[in-house]
Amino acid sequence: MKKEIVSTKKAPGAVGPYSQAVKCGNMVYTAGQIALNPGTGQMVEGGVKEQTHQVFANLKAVLEASGTSLENVVKTTVFITDMGKFGDVNEVYAEYFTVDFPARSCIEVGRLPKDALVEIEVVAAL
């Protein structure tokens, strides 16, 4: 099966040897997105809610560059550094997924790149 690398300047560039997303067949697999502002390369100001909104802005940009959207997401994986903030992340998450919710995993981790508070990756249909 042929794969296609996806890249957009509307989302932060990769900070390592990976792609923003890969299209394979009729699916798109995104890299995890953290709350980097694509214009400045800096982490957005604020707490986990503000970071989660930026993560979704970055995911939307990568998905659009891939030819799909949040509406076609079938699976998400959420990484958070403090499970005590799960409710805050979930509140923002529910603004982006309102019906036909994708499957989801949520994992507490010790640390994320650039000391982000949240990172989300998705799998979407084309």
Active site residues: 106
CA-nearest of 55, 48, 116 to 84 is 48
CA 86 from chain center: how many Å? 16
Name the DSSP letter for residue 12.
P
Q: How many C-beta atoms lie closer than 10 Å to residue 97's C-beta? A: 15
For 115, left (φ over 0), alpha (ψ -120 to 50), or beta? left
Name the pairing type of β-strands 103-108 and 27-30: unpaired
